[in-house]
Amino acid sequence: MSQPFIDPSPIAKPLTETPHWDVLIVGAGLSGIGAARHLQAQSPHTRWSLVESRTSLGGTWDLFRYPGVRSDSDMHTLGYAFKPWTERKAIADGPSILRYIQSTADETGITPQIQFGRKVLRADWSTAQSCWRVTLSQANGAQEQVTSRFLYLCSGYYSYTQAHQPAFEGQATFQGRWVHPQFWPQDLDYSGKRVVVIGSGATAATLVPAMARTAAHVTMLQRSPTYMVSRPAEDALALQLQRFLPERWAHHLTRWKNIVMGMYFFRLARRYPDKAKSHLIALAAQQLGPQIDTAKHFTPRYNPWDQRICLLPNGDLFSTLRTGQASVVTDTILRITPTGIDLTSGEHLAADIIVSATGLQLNALGDIAFSVNGQPYSPAQAMAYKGMMLSDLPNVFMAMGYTNASWTLKADLTAGYVCRLLKYMERHGYTQAVPRKDPGAQAQAYFDFSSGYVQRAADVLPKQGDRKPWRVYQNYGADMLSLRWARLDDGVMQFTSSDKAARHPRGGHAAEAD
C-alpha cells in the first residue's frame, strides 16, 4: 500500500499560483537551459518549470571565476547542437561560454520562466498520485512545495558549496593568502606575488599561465603528472566552413568532425595504450624543450584516458614554463609553514599565495533527499539505466555528460530521449516510467576512471551494469543508437498508468514552440 507524502514545514507561499508541472527541471546551467530548449522545440505542450538555487543562470560557468577559466573541450561540441558556436575561439573562456548560455535562454523566452533562489531539498514520490512532491527552500530559509509528474535533474555531479580540500599539516600557520579556485575571492591581487598552485589537473593547468602574466612567479606543485596536449585555440577548418557555408551547416559539419575524431583517438588510446602514451609524451617534450624534465614532470604513471587528458589552448602552459614565468615541481607536501611549503624532498617553496586546486567534491542527484512511497531512496544502491535514469526511481531523468568528450553531447541526447519518452507516454496513457533493476547485472563503478575525485565518491555515486541497458557508454555513437533510435518499451522500462494521476489538475506555463 502506498504511503502518503511527507509534508515538511513550514510551508511558505507557493512557487506559483498553480504549482503543478509535467516536468520540473532542476538547475539552470548548460544542461538545464538545453533541456528547456529541447522541451520547447520537441514537446511544446509539456508544462515545465526550471528552478535554480543560485541567483543567476550559467551553472559552472557562472560559479567559477578564477583567472583564465575556460572550457576543456571545443565549443563546437560543448555548445548545443541547435545553436551554432560562432566566435573565433573554439577553446573558449568562461565569460564567453556564459554569454552563450545566457543568449540561448534569452532568445527563446526561457529566462523569465526560471525560478531563481530555489534549492531543492527533498523529493517524495507517490505511486498513487503518479507525481513528485518537491520541497524547496528560499534564500531566507522559508520552504515551499510544488508537484511535478517528472523531475529532470540538470544540476551536474559536484557540490557547489563544498570542494575537496585535503588537510595539510601546518596549514593554519601560513601567513599568506590561501585560496581554493571554486571560491575565488574577487579582491585577490596576485601581481608581483609568489604563487604556488597545488594540483596538476585542468584547473591548475589553466591557472598557472593566467596568473603568471602578472605574478612574480608561479609554481605548479604536483604529486604526480597528468597527460597534457596542446591544441590550437581556433579551429581552422571551422573558420573556413563558416566563410563558405550557411551557419548551421558549418556548425554541424564541424561538430561531427570533432565527434568522430574524438571517438577515433580515444579508441586508439584504449587499444594501444603504450603507443598512445609514448606519442603524448613525445608531443609534450617537443613543446617543452630540453630545459624541462619531461620524464619527471609530464610522464604519468597511468595510461591515457584512465584519467581525463588536459587540453592546453595553443600550448599556453608549455610556453609559460619555457619562458621561466612559471615552473613545475613534482613532489609531495611535508607541511605548510608560515612562509610557504616544505616538501618531502627537503625543498622549501616560498609563497605569498597558495592556490589549492585540489579538485571537486562529487555528489549524486544534486544532494536531494529522495523517497519513494515513504521509503528513503539511496542512489548509491541504484544502477544507472542508459546513463540517464536510475533503477527503481520513477519519472526521474538526470543529465550526465562524458568523461572523454564534451558534456553537452550526452546532455543533448538525453534531452531528446526525454522528449521521445514524454510523447510515447502521452500516446499510450502512461503516467509512470521506471527502469527495474536487473538482478543478473553485475554492478561496476559508474565512471571507469581512476581520477581521485571519482574514487573519493565511489560510495556516493550510483553503479553501472555489465550489460545493456545498464552500461554507461562513454561513446556518442553507442548512445545515439540507444537514446535516439532504440525502442522505448525495451522490457526493462516499466510503464504504468493511473487514472487518479491523469485527473490531477495541471497548471503553470506551457512551453512554447518556435
- For the chain, the average pLDDT equals 90
Predicted local confidence at residue 450, as pLDDT: 65
The whole-number average pLDDT for the span 209-225 is 97
Over the stretch 275-334, which tens digit does the pLDDT of each residue have?
999 999 999 999 999 999 999 999 999 999 888 899 999 999 999 999 999 999 999 999
pLDDT at residue 280, as a whole number: 96
pLDDT given for residue 499 in this prediction: 59
Give the pLDDT of residue 19. Answer: 62
- In CATH terms, the fold of domain 20-160+361-502 is FAD/NAD(P)-binding domain (3.50.50)
pLDDT band at 457 (very low <50, low <70, confident <90, very high): confident
118 residue type, one letter: R
What integer pLDDT is reported at residue 18 of this predicted model?
Answer: 40
Indicate yes or no: pTM above 0.95.
no
Model confidence pLDDT, tens digit, residues 462-472: 999 999 999 99
Specify the range with the lowest mean pLDDT, choosing from 251-255, 394-398, 460-464.
Answer: 460-464
CA distances 251 to 70, 90, 239, 257, 272, Å, are 20, 11, 10, 10, 31
Residue 14 is predicted with a pLDDT of 36
How far is the C-alpha of 414 from the C-alpha of 478, rounded, in Å? Answer: 13
Collapsing DSSP to helix, strand or coil, 172 comes out as: helix
- Give the model's confidence band at 342: pLDDT under 50 very low, under 70 low, under 90 confident, else very high: very high
Strand partners, 469: none
How many other β-carbons are positioned within 10 Å of the β-carbon of residue 72? 19
| Angle between helical axes of 30-42 and 407-428 (0-180°, round to 10) | 40
Residues of the chain with CATH 3.50.50.60: 20-160+361-502, 165-358
Whole-number Å distance between alpha carbons of 385 and 295? 42
How large is the average pLDDT for residues 182-205? 96
Using the predicted structure, report yes or no on whether residue 11 has a pLDDT greater than 80. no
Q: What is the pLDDT of residues 325-334, one digit of tens each?
A: 999 999 999 9
- Does residue 372 carry a pLDDT above 80? yes
b/e sequence 258-292, b meaning 16+ C-beta within 10 Å? bbeebbebbeebeeeeeebbeebbebbbebbeeeb
State the pLDDT at residue 505: 34
pLDDT digits 0-9 by tens, 161-173: 988 899 999 999 9
Q: Per residue in 19-64, pLDDT tens? A: 689 999 999 999 999 999 999 999 999 999 999 999 999 999 999 9
Which of 37-51, 230-244, 490-504 is the least confident region? 490-504
pLDDT > 60? residue 389: yes
Q: Coil, strand or helix: which one is 464?
A: strand
- Confidence (pLDDT) at 6: 32
Our CA dihedral for 361, 364, 367, 372, rounded to 10 degrees, sits at -160
Nearest Cα residue to 249 out of 5, 108, 66, 86: 86
What is the rounded distance in angstroms from the CA atom of residue 439 to the CA atom of residue 315? 48
Say if CB 261 and CB 269 are below 8 A apart: no
- Where are the alpha helices (H) located in 122-214, listed in sequence order? 202-212
Predicted local distance difference test score (pLDDT) of residue 507: 35
**Number of Cβ atoms within 10 Å of the Cβ of 114:** 19
Mention the CATH class of domain 165-358: alpha beta
- Is there a contact between 110 and 37 (Cβ–Cβ < 8 Å)? yes
Q: For the segment 401-449, what is each residue's pLDDT rounded down to a tens digit?
A: 898 899 999 999 999 999 999 999 999 999 999 999 888 888 888 887 7
Q: What is the mean pLDDT of residues 364-387?
A: 94
Residue 204, pLDDT above cutoff 70: yes
At 28, list the grid cell: 539552470
* pLDDT per residue as tens digits for the range 96-136: 999 999 999 999 999 999 999 999 999 999 999 999 999 99
- Can you tell me the mean pLDDT for 451-472? 84
Confidence of residue 239 (pLDDT cuts 50, 70, 90): very high
% of the chain at pLDDT higher than 90: 81
Q: Are 316 and 209 in contact (CB under 8 A)?
A: yes
